[in-house]
């Protein structure tokens, strides 16, 4: 029976999706839409996300992505992934206050293979961000964190393969000026776990409300 390489898809990142509250002041709301691409040893795909930020602290949203998974026998399977998430900034970087921002997040991933294959996993993690102003119109936010993942996959109607593990995440956000109504953000990120590393990039548009 074919055996799938452990599947955990970058930026679904995550990486680091739907973090618009990083750019909102307390009491502000905002929306974010983004699209990206990720690649790794056993999968690659296109990722899209949309989210809403509440009061400059909490982000809630959904990711919808499409991936191609390569098994260790060379066979392939394509699937869609649906991933609702919530993120809370427990600490926000401020002038004269906290030197960094700290967020905790939770996300559920449900994979739709349109076949006998099925899978889902849960991710709970934390991330630290640091804002660095590059010029009047540009800024950069390096970030790093880790997450706990519990997954379950069934292939070809067989028994479920279950696993738990930790991931390591780091990357960079490049943004236009964060005090404007519209913020453009380019993200490059890397996620590693066990012996696999996934890399990706995403372009996002954030609108203050």
pLDDT higher than threshold 60 for residue 126: yes
**Rounded alpha-carbon distances, angstroms, from residue 203 to 59, 69, 104, 125, 187:** 18, 23, 22, 22, 6
Work out the pLDDT band at 23, boundaries 50, 70, 90: very high
| Domain tally, the chain | 1
Q: Is there a domain that residue 83 lies in? A: yes
Please provide the DSSP assignment of 45-111 as one string: EEEEEEEEEETTTEEEEEEEEEEEEE-TTS-EEEEEEEEEEEEEEEE---TTS-SSEEEEEEEEEEE
Q: Is there a domain that residue 9 lies in? A: no
Q: Centre a 10 Å sphere on the Cβ of residue 26 and count the other Cβ atoms it contains.
A: 11
pLDDT at position 44, please? 85
Mean pLDDT, range 179-196, rounded to an integer: 89
**Which residues form the domain of 187?**
20-208
pLDDT at position 16, please? 54
Q: What is the pTM of this model?
A: 0.84
pLDDT higher than threshold 70 for residue 177: yes
pLDDT higher than threshold 70 for residue 198: yes
pLDDT in tens, 64-114: 999 887 777 777 777 888 999 999 999 999 988 999 999 999 999 887 777
CATH classification of the domain holding 193? 2.40.128.130
């Amino acid at each position: 029976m074919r055996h799938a390489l452990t599947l955990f898809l970058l930026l679904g990142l995550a990486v680091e999706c739907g973090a618009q509250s990083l750019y909102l002041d307390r009491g502000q709301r905002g929306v974010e839409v983004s699209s990206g691409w990720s690649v790794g040893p056993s999968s690659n795909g296109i990722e899209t996300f949309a989210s809403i930020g509440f009061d400059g602290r909490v982000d809630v949203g959904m990711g919808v992505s499409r991936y191609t998974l390569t098994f260790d026998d060379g066979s392939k399977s394509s699937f869609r992934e649906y991933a609702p998430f919530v993120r809370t900034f427990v600490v926000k970087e401020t002038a004269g206050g906290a030197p960094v921002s700290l967020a905790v997040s939770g996300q559920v991933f449900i994979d739709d293979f349109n076949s006998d294959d099925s899978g889902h996993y849960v991710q709970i993690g934390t991330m630290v961000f640091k804002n660095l102003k590059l010029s009047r119109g540009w800024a950069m936010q390096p970030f790093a964190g880790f997450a706990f993942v519990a997954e379950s996959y069934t292939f070809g109607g067989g028994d479920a393969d279950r696993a738990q593990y930790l991931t390591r995440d780091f990357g960079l956000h490049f943004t236009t000026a964060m005090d404007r109504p519209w913020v453009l953000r380019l993200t490059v990120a890397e996620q590693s776990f066990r012996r696999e590393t996934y890399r990706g990039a995403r372009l996002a548009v954030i609108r203050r409300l």
